[in-house]
Amino acid sequence: MNTGLDLHSPPLVYLDLVVVVVVVVVVVVLSSTVGLVVVVVVVVLVVVVVAAAAVVVVVVVVVVVVVVVVVVVVVVVV
């Protein structure tokens, strides 16, 4: 389980770094109020999407583990 999460963590870290760089560039280019509002909205959306992706990964891992346990129990009992 830890190995799977370790494999998923680096891409998310790189994605966060890319997002930070993009946000900094956008803020520098668009220093107006409208630009800042747009940047904030985009950042919030990206954070929500990344969080949702992380939740999906955790749910999938849990479901796979549960299915494997059930199959093993059924095989052992039968």
Contact 31, 47 (CB under 8 A): no
User: What digits encode the pLDDT tens for the residues 33-77?
Assistant: 776 777 788 889 988 888 888 888 888 999 999 999 999 999 998
CB 56 within 8 A of CB 8: no
Map out the domains of the chain as residue ranges: 2-77
In angstroms, rounded to a whole number, what is the distance separating the alpha carbons of residues 61 and 53?
Answer: 12
Q: What is the reported pTM? A: 0.40
Q: Answer with the residue of higher pLDDT: 10 or 31.
A: 31
Chain centroid offset of residue 63 CA: 18
